[in-house]
């Protein structure tokens, strides 16, 4: 890869502070670098600039030069170069920095301009805050408090518009609240590439609507709800469920595919209410697929496995099974398990002298944030050494070995073996030890069933398609009776005659760092929020299935070499 | 330590007869026998509650009989002992009387074993839906009995006059007003 050229730096002066920023930065971003807040609604760092909300008005000026000689004109009072201030305010989002640019964000003119814009925006905005889901994270509330006049001069009747328009299966529009910033329209057009939204009518009649006969139903529709600065676009799933100030935010990772989009899980008292994207400019920018936002429903699903016995009793029964069939054991790990679990799975396979395999799950990639590989952590299994080659979708080898009577016991971790191509008759021929959170055909056929955790109930790490190792944190406490996968796996390893391994993440990471060279310098605690890119060269020859997605390009030459 | 000798005066003749003290005591007794009564025959008789008294928190309805609470959960947020617990819910579009309010509580519980009668819930309510009224005595045999559910809260609260009729105005605006 060619390293990006060093950006040209431009020195600007914002409220008296000098700062050098890359050429092409606009005033809002430059001000953010010196911790000056320029309020805005329509501007979004990942979308095009339209400048229609007028909230980011600033006062700007350039150093004065003599028009004829181009010599700087000095101000005798200060002894510095004189600044020619433009007599009208300018928008910060549409103004790119230029050398010597001076910006004032707190002058009386700017204050007046902001108060005027706020007053116009609030004229027809309903007093819905008590019933509005955006309350607490609403830019209009924040900026009315921070930059508004503080009282209303409007005595006329407010506009009345539709309050419950269904724009699509997951998005509900409250037209009265809309401030016509057009972020949602630009998102649909530029990022989701599904240009279905637009404004119709003029003046105070302007309304956000879908193109006739179309719906906002692409898999990224809920991002419009995230970027809506007011409560106009609301998530039908989260609508009227809980006020946001009650919710605890936990950083997590989207596990629906190998993209590994960064997320925030919002929960209260052990119940998850919603999942939103977390900005990571190297992985998912500020976006997240709709399909990733419903994954939390697996936590309180009706088919969660209930604990029937204590873990110790179950481990003792599993140990008896292991002893009954030495050398005839297979371990089916999972590309959905965390790196730590896969590390313990590798130890379990080694202790049992068993073969270890994964089941691949391949779907259609959408070139954005859902990749073709629907296992979030196949690369974690490669890094920890659980597998050497890429997994196949069907366990044909295992099926053949079961039919030949060479395998008597199968340890299945979070994988439904019937979905991986094993028949019910084959499952009946072997003794199955199953670890998983939800019931399926394999758990029903299993001799020993451990009820374990969903990804929202445990901490761990995942390695995404870029070989970026990222951590996900426990958002809610474990369901009653369910045991941490690490505890179960560590006890199974001990029962199989392997090493005594810790189930605690901090202690386990010491063992991982010592045994896995790629992770030698890491601990769980010091893994940065944006993840850490691991060396991918040992696996460059493997034919990974992912196509191009946001911030990821498959290594084409390697695939060609592997197929050649 | 210095010792102070206190001189004890001998009793006078009248004091030795005890009669003035008995007469004084009887005077107090007869005065209260004929004076107006200060005590109440509680619980048959109830005291007059002063204005602004903070009794049991209750939910009230507006003069149209519509529930005023929109489950904004500000009282739940502000409640210092965390006595209030609300499950918000959407009002379905087919309920003509209240569909324009959009949101109302599915469940509203106040744990009276936790409540400290501070009145912050009444102060914070943007819809003037929760009031600490005159009810001052709560009793029950179990903890569960001491939790006031939504029905009980409306039963205790009743209907109070409304100065604003916010939602009626909203509905009127929707029907004939500035329709866009």
Residue B32, pLDDT above cutoff 50: yes
CA–CA min distance A302, chain B (Å): 21
Q: Residue A159: what pLDDT?
A: 87
Find the CB nearest B73 among A157, A207, A243: A243
Domain ranges of chain A: 9-116, 128-139+151-298, 311-537
Asked if A154 is an interface residue toward chain B (Cβ–Cβ < 8 A), one would say no
B49 domain residue, yes or no: no
Domains contained in chain B, number: 1
Q: Which residue of B has its CA nearest to A204?
A: B180
pLDDT digits (tens, 9 = 90+) for B35-49: 998 889 999 999 999
Q: Which residue of A has its CA nearest to B174?
A: A160
pLDDT digits (tens, 9 = 90+) for B86-124: 999 999 989 888 889 999 999 999 999 999 999 999 999
User: Which residue in the block uniquely carries the two structure tokens 């009002």?
Assistant: B91
Residue B69, pLDDT above cutoff 50: yes
The mean-pLDDT minimum among A126-130, B70-74, B144-148 falls in A126-130
Using an 8 Å CB-CB cutoff, list chain A residues near B180. Answer: 159-161, 204-205, 207
pTM here is 0.90
| 3-class state of residue A391 by DSSP | coil
**How many residues comprise chain A?**
564
What are the φ and ψ backbone dihedral angles of B122, each rounded to 5 degrees?
-65, -40
Sorted by sequence, the CB contacts under 8 Å of residue A191 that are 6+ apart come out as A46, A47, A220, A223, A287, A368
How many contacts (CB atoms, under 8 Å) link A and B? 54
Residue B142, pLDDT above cutoff 60: yes
B12 domain residue, yes or no: no
Q: What is the ipTM of this complex?
A: 0.85
Q: Residue A1: what pLDDT?
A: 45
Instruction: Find out whether A102 and A82 touch, Cβ atoms under 8 Å.
Output: no
**pLDDT, averaged across chain B:** 92
* CATH class entry, domain A9-116: alpha beta
B158 domain residue, yes or no: yes
φ/ψ region of A15 (left if φ > 0, alpha if ψ in -120 to 50, else beta) reads: left
CA–CA min distance B41, chain A (Å): 45
Q: Residue A84: what pLDDT?
A: 94
The CATH number linked to B131 is 3.30.70.3270
Per-residue model confidence as pLDDT tens for chain A (564 residues): 455 556 689 999 999 999 999 999 999 999 999 999 999 999 999 999 999 999 999 999 999 999 999 899 998 888 889 999 999 999 999 999 999 999 999 999 999 999 999 999 999 999 899 999 999 999 999 999 999 998 999 988 888 899 999 999 999 999 999 999 999 999 999 999 999 999 999 988 899 999 999 999 999 999 999 999 999 999 999 999 999 999 999 999 999 999 999 999 999 999 999 999 999 999 999 999 999 999 999 999 999 999 889 999 999 999 999 999 998 999 999 999 999 999 999 999 999 999 899 999 999 999 999 999 999 999 999 999 999 999 998 999 999 999 999 999 999 999 999 999 999 999 999 999 999 999 999 999 999 999 999 999 999 999 999 999 999 999 999 999 999 999 999 999 999 998 999 999 999 999 999 999 999 999 999 999 999 999 999 999 999 999 999 999 987 654 444 443
Q: Which residue of A has its CA nearest to B92?
A: A164
φ/ψ region of A477 (left if φ > 0, alpha if ψ in -120 to 50, else beta) reads: beta
Determine whether the interchain pair A164/B93 forms a contact, defined as Cβ–Cβ distance below 8 Å: yes
Burial (CB < 10 A; 0-12, 13-18, 19+), residue B137, is exposed
Nearest to A261 by CA among A292, A235, A238: A292
- Helix axis angle, A505-515 relative to A339-352, nearest 10°? 60
Pick among 3.40.50.2300, 3.20.20.120, 1.10.10.10, 3.30.70.20: CATH of A128-139+151-298: 3.30.70.20
Q: Which residue of A has its CA nearest to B179?
A: A160
CA distance B7 to A490: 90
Q: Which residue of B has its CA nearest to A241?
A: B88
B90 domain residue, yes or no: yes
Residue B179, pLDDT above cutoff 60: no
Using an 8 Å CB-CB cutoff, list chain B residues near A243. Answer: 72-73, 77, 88
- Give the structural domain span for B91: 57-170
Question: Beta A409-413 vs A329-332: how paired, if at all?
Answer: parallel
Asked if A166 is an interface residue toward chain B (Cβ–Cβ < 8 A), one would say no
Q: Residue A517: what pLDDT?
A: 92
CA–CA min distance B90, chain A (Å): 6
Determine whether the interchain pair B72/A135 forms a contact, defined as Cβ–Cβ distance below 8 Å: yes
Find the CB nearest A131 among B72, B77, B174: B72
**How many residues comprise chain B?**
180
CA–CA min distance B88, chain A (Å): 6
Instruction: Find out whether B88 and A241 touch, Cβ atoms under 8 Å.
Output: yes
Instruction: Find out whether A89 and A59 touch, Cβ atoms under 8 Å.
Output: yes
CA distance A285 to A223: 11
CA distance B73 to B78: 9
Using an 8 Å CB-CB cutoff, list chain B residues near A231. Answer: none
Instruction: Find out whether A358 and A411 touch, Cβ atoms under 8 Å.
Output: no
Using an 8 Å CB-CB cutoff, list chain B residues near A274. Answer: none
Determine whether the interchain pair A243/B174 forms a contact, defined as Cβ–Cβ distance below 8 Å: no
Sorted by sequence, the CB contacts under 8 Å of residue A1 that are 6+ apart come out as none
Q: Alpha helices of A432-482 — where are they, by DSSP H? A: 441-445
Q: Residue A80: what pLDDT?
A: 87
Using an 8 Å CB-CB cutoff, list chain A residues near B93. Answer: 164
- Chain B interface, best mutation among A136, A159, A160, by max B CB count within 10 A: A160
The hierarchical CATH code for the domain A311-537 is 3.40.50.740
Q: Residue A279: what pLDDT?
A: 96
User: Which residue in the block uniquely carries the two structure tokens 């010491």?
Assistant: A510
CA–CA min distance B114, chain A (Å): 18
Using an 8 Å CB-CB cutoff, list chain A residues near B98. Answer: none
CA distance A98 to A302: 60
Asked if A558 is an interface residue toward chain B (Cβ–Cβ < 8 A), one would say no
What are the φ and ψ backbone dihedral angles of A231, each rounded to 5 degrees?
-95, 30
Using an 8 Å CB-CB cutoff, list chain B residues near A240. Answer: 71, 88-90, 102-103
Q: Which residue of A has its CA nearest to B166?
A: A127
CA distance A355 to A332: 8
Find the CB nearest A245 among B77, B102, B103: B77
């Amino acid at each position: 890869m060619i390293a990006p050229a060093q950006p040209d730096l431009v020195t600007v002066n914002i409220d008296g502070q000098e700062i050098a920023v890359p050429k092409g930065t606009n005033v809002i971003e430059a001000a953010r670098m010196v911790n000056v807040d320029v309020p805005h609604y329509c501007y979004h760092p990942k979308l095009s600039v339209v400048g229609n909300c007028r909230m980011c008005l600033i006062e700007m000026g350039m150093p004065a030069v003599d028009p004829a000689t181009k010599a700087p004109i000095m101000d005798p009072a200060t002894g510095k170069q004189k600044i020619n201030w433009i007599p009208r305010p300018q928008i910060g989002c549409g103004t790119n920095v230029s050398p010597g640019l001076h910006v004032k964000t707190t002058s009386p003119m700017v204050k007046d301009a902001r108060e005027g814009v706020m007053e116009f925006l609030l004229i027809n905005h309903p007093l819905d805050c008590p019933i509005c889901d955006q309350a607490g994270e609403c830019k209009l509330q924040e900026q009315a408090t921070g930059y508004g006049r503080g009282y209303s001069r409007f005595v006329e009747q407010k506009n009345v518009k539709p309050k419950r328009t269904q724009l699509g299966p997951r998005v509900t529009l409250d037209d009265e609240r809309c401030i016509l910033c057009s972020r949602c329209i630009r998102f649909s057009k530029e990022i989701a590439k599904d240009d279905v939204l637009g404004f119709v009518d003029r003046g105070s009649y302007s309304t956000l609507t879908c193109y006739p006969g179309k719906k906002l139903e692409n898999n990224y529709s809920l991002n419009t709800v995230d970027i809506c600065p007011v409560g106009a676009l609301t998530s039908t799933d989260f609508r009227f469920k809980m006020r946001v100030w009650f919710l605890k935010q936990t950083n997590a990772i989207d596990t629906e595919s190998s993209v590994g989009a960064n997320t925030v899980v919002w929960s209260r008292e052990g119940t998850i209410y919603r999942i939103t994207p977390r900005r990571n400019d190297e992985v998912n920018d500020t976006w997240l697929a709709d399909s990733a936002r419903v994954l939390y429903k697996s936590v309180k699903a009706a088919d969660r496995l209930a604990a029937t016995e204590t873990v110790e009793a179950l481990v003792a029964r599993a140990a008896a099974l292991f002893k009954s069939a030495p050398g005839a054991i297979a371990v089916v790990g999972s590309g959905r398990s965390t790196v730590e679990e896969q590390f313990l799975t590798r130890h379990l396979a080694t202790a049992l002298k068993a073969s270890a395999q994964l089941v691949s799950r391949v779907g259609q990639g959408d070139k954005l944030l859902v990749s073709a590989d629907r296992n979030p952590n196949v690369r974690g299994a490669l890094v920890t050494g659980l597998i050497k080659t890429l997994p196949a979708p069907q366990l044909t080898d295992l099926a053949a070995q079961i039919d030949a009577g060479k395998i008597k016991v199968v340890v299945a971790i979070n994988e439904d073996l019937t979905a991986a191509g094993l028949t019910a008759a084959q499952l009946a021929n072997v003794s199955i030890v199953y670890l998983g959170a939800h019931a399926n055909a394999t758990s029903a056929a299993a001799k020993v069933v451990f009820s374990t955790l969903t990804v929202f109930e445990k901490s761990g790490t995942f390695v995404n398609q870029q070989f970026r190792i990222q951590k996900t944190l426990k958002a809610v406490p474990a369901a009653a009776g369910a045991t941490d996968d690490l505890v179960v796996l560590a006890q199974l390893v001990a029962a199989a005659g392997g090493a005594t391994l810790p189930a605690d993440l901090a202690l386990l990471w010491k063992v991982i760092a010592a045994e896995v060279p790629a992770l030698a310098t890491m601990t769980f605690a010091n893994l940065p929020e944006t993840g850490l890119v691991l060396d991918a060269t040992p696996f460059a020859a493997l034919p990974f299935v992912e196509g191009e997605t946001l911030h990821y390009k498959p290594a084409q030459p390697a695939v060609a070499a592997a197929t050649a | 330590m210095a010792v102070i000798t206190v001189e004890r005066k001998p009793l006078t003749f009248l004091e030795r007869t005890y009669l003035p003290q008995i007469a004084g005591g009887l005077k107090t007794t007869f005065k209260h026998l004929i004076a107006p009564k200060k005590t109440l025959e509680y619980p048959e008789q109830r005291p007059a509650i002063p204005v602004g008294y903070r009794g049991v928190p209750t939910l009230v309805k507006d003069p149209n009989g519509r529930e005023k609470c929109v489950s904004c959960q500000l009282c739940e947020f502000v409640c210092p002992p965390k006595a209030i617990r609300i499950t918000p819910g959407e009002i379905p579009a087919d309920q003509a009387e209240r569909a324009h309010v959009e949101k109302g509580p599915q469940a509203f519980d106040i744990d009276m074993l936790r409540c400290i009668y501070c009145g912050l819930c009444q102060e914070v309510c943007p819809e003037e839906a929760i009031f600490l009224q005159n009810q001052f005595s709560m009793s029950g045999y179990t903890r569960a009995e001491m939790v006031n559910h939504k029905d009980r809260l409306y039963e205790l609260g009743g209907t109070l006059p409304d100065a604003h009729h916010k939602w009626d105005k909203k509905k009127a605006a929707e029907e004939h007003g500035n329709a866009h």
